[in-house]
Amino acid sequence: MYQLQDEVSLLRASLDGDTEAWGEIVSRYKDAVYGLCLGFLRQPADAEDMTHDAFIRAYENLRRYHLEKRFSTWLFTIASNLCRNRLRYRRYHPVVSPPDQIAGGRDPAIEVAREDRHDEIRKALDELPYAYRAPLVLRFYNDLSYKEIAEVLSLPEGTVKTRIHRAKVQLKQVLEKKDGVVHHETG
């Protein structure tokens, strides 16, 4: 029933207490919010918790949302703020996570190689300062525009562009260093 309704109608219905309409909003955005949270936190359990918390917080504050603005930007702002808080908490309360399980039915060698590369990228992202990591995650894991990232992180758009550029340069350097690749510039 709700599949064809536009987002604004669903949000208005949600404001009127229609839980099915809110359920449709959640199903439309849950994967994107989870991806955002996973990109920040890099731990599936924490990402699930923050995704759940983001939707609860959004629902509780839905009356503060302005219908003329993009809902996704508002929701991603809530989620990224929750992730920032979790990262601050983690700094003082470190957590050890169990290793990920390999999905069945696939070539284990390929899966291990793929997971190794993903782990290398995640570890390299961990080495970036939060100021560079956050916009990079929003851009490449969540496909947000520079303008949307600027809104989510409360930064000027030019700063976002600069930080993403610098983050890519630093990420490449970290990965090359880990791979043992050294490029000499000729000039």
Residue 148: the pLDDT is: 86
pLDDT digit string (tens) for 40-64?
887 888 899 999 999 999 999 999 9
Residue 68 main-chain phi, psi, to 5 deg: -80, -10
Which domain-ending residue is among 40, 65, 95? 95
Report if residue 139 sits inside a domain.
Answer: yes
Q: Which among 14, 10, 48 is positioned nearest to 31, based on CA atoms? A: 48
Question: What whole-number distance in Å separates Cα of residue 40 and Cα of residue 51?
Answer: 12
**For 75-84, what is the mean pLDDT?**
92
CATH code, domain carrying 140: 1.10.10.10
Per-residue pLDDT reduced to its tens digit, 96-155: 544 544 445 566 667 666 676 767 777 777 788 878 888 888 887 777 889 988 888 888
Identify whether residues 154 and 174 lie together within a single domain. yes
How would you label 152-175 residue by residue, b for 16+ Cβ within 10 Å and e otherwise? bbebeeeebeebbebbeebbeebb
The structure's pTM equals: 0.62
**Structural domains counted in the chain:** 2
pLDDT exceeding 70 applies to what percent of the chain?
Answer: 81
In a domain, residue 101? The reply is no
Domain extent, residue 118, equals 106-187
Q: What is the pLDDT of residue 122?
A: 74
Task: Examine the domain organization and report whether 10 and 90 are in the same domain.
Answer: yes
Radius of gyration of the chain (CA): 19
Question: Is the model more confident about 127 or about 23?
Answer: 23
Mean pLDDT of 26-35: 93
170 alpha carbon, distance to own chain's centre: 19
